[in-house]
């Protein structure tokens, strides 16, 4: 859209701004009502005529009675206007910034796609993930952190210690979570709708892992909890190996949402027939490893179930837990028929369902990829025990 100006230099700079943003032949209008007096208008016209004499711009005048007035000003030769304004093309500035950004960093090929997107945005004078080419020094830390995560150098280290070891500041990762996740998403399967902090949790980056909440007739170390089982209890995820099972549980059910977890153990399984585990939304790496250990402790024929929202994130959580368990996992209250009966069309379909694969959730994934698919939050459903085959 053409704009109106009463300052010649502002008009000329705006022409270059819009050219850098992708407009092939931008033009602007004079602001006839914006001049303080006739002398200001005369200066404006003279300045533009001087620039037109270099063929950098073309002044188009009105017709008839307005033949002596400027109708609009069009950019003709950007290279000459850059020289006249003492301004460097943003493409040059972007290339220079990217060289500083990547100096000494050997990037993995997986980062080529986001790097190309950054180069395109900066080359048009726009920001990438909130960072302009002037922020290259700060953004360099995001590339260093993402590369270190992809190489697995974060494993076994808490969030702030990792940040300090990689870039020398324990709080840098917190300030750069968004660009770090954007880089990693080109190389790793991350939850489609997660906040950057939650996405990093799934990779094992958190200050300290939250407790694993469980409900069931189990003992913990020397504590005979099964004799009078509490509603639920929490343990460090790394200590799941201390659980003991005096009697085989009916099933194992992992649940994404805390409200649904609480309702399930109160309303559907008050007798603690099954082992119910709250995974805390997007399961952290510590939670995934705890579930993997739990799966090896129980008989291979014992059924495992998972209950999540019926949406792309819910299927991502299901597949993440399924991968961690390395055994069959069945969806609970997660089906196309339930979505069709109780769900609604989402306000925003920006989140894409993961590729179907061959898992037990594949049919639901395919359904969610349809334009007419309905989504459903699990809190909308009353809890019931999973259907098991004895």
SS3 319: helix
Give the pLDDT score at 335: 96
Here the tokens at position 139 are 């953004």
In whole numbers, what is the pLDDT of the chain averaged over residues? 93
Confidence bin at 386 (pLDDT 50/70/90): very high
Spatial separation of the C-alpha atoms in residues 205 and 351, rounded to whole Å? 23
pLDDT for 390 equals 44
- φ/ψ of 164, rounded to 5, equals -65, -40
Distance separating alpha carbons of residues 18 and 24, to the nearest angstrom: 8
> How much is the pLDDT for 2?
66
Long-range contacts of 34-42 (CB under 8 A, 24+ apart): 34/4, 34/5, 34/6, 35/6, 40/6
* pLDDT above 70 (res 1): no
* DSSP label at residue 96: H
- The fold of 212-380 is Dna Topoisomerase Vi A Subunit; Chain: A, domain 2 (3.40.1360)
The whole-number pLDDT of residue 189 equals: 86
pLDDT of residue 354: 76
Is the pLDDT at 121 greater than 50, yes or no? yes
What does the pLDDT look like over 144-200, one tens digit per residue? 999 999 999 998 888 999 999 999 999 999 999 999 999 999 999 888 888 999 999
In this structure, how many other beta carbons lie within 10 angstroms of the beta carbon of residue 321?
Answer: 23
Chain segment 232-277, per-residue pLDDT in tens = 999 999 999 999 999 999 999 999 999 999 999 999 999 999 999 9
* Lowest mean per-residue pLDDT among 161-170, 222-231, 372-381: 222-231
Does the pLDDT of residue 27 top 60, yes or no? yes
Interval 291-313 mean pLDDT: 96
Distance, in Å, from the CA atom of 274 to the CA atom of 386, rounded to the nearest integer, reads: 9
| Digit-coded pLDDT (tens) for 55-88 | 999 999 988 888 889 999 999 999 999 999 999 9
Residue-range domain boundaries for the chain: 4-85, 90-188, 212-380
Distance CA(377)–CA(56), nearest Å, equals: 59
């Amino acid at each position: 859209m053409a704009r109106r100006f009463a300052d010649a230099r502002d008009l000329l700079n705006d022409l270059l701004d819009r050219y850098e943003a992708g407009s092939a032949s931008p033009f602007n209008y004079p602001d006839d009502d914006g001049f303080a007096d006739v002398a200001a208008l005369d200066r404006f016209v003279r300045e533009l005529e001087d620039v037109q004499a270099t063929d950098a711009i073309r002044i188009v005048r009105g017709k008839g009675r307005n033949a002596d007035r400027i109708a609009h000003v069009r950019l003709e030769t950007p290279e000459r206007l850059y020289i006249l304004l003492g301004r460097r093309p943003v493409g040059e500035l972007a290339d220079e910034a990217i060289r500083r950004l990547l100096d000494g960093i050997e990037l993995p090929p997986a980062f080529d796609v986001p790097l190309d997107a950054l180069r395109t945005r900066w080359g048009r004078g726009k920001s990438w993930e909130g960072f302009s080419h002037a922020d290259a020094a700060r953004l360099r830390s995001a590339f260093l952190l993402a590369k270190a995560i992809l190489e697995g150098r974060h494993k076994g280290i808490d969030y702030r210690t990792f940040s300090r070891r990689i870039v020398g500041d324990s709080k840098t990762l917190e300030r750069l979570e968004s660009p770090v996740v954007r880089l990693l998403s080109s190389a790793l399967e991350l939850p489609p709708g997660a906040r950057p902090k939650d996405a990093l949790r799934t990779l094992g980056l958190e200050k300290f892992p939250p407790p694993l909440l469980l409900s069931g007739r189990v003992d913990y170390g020397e504590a005979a909890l099964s004799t009078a089982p509490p509603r639920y209890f929490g343990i460090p995820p790394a200590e799941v190996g201390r659980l003991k099972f005096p009697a085989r549980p009916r099933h194992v059910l992992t649940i994404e949402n805390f409200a649904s977890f609480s309702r399930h153990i109160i309303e559907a399984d008050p007798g603690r027939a099954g082992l119910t585990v709250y995974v805390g939304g997007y399961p952290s790496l510590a939670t995934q490893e705890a579930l993997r250990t739990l799966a090896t402790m129980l008989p291979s024929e014992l059924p495992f179930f998972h209950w999540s929202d019926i949406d792309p994130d819910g299927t991502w959580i299901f597949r993440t837990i399924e991968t961690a368990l390395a055994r069959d996992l069945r969806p609970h209250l997660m089906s196309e028929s339930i979505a069709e009966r109780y769900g609604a069309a989402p306000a925003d379909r920006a989140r894409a369902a993961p590729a179907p694969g061959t898992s037990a959730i594949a049919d639901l994934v395919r359904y969610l990829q349809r334009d007419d698919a309905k989504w459903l939050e699990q809190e909308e459903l009353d809890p019931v025990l999973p259907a098991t085959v004895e």
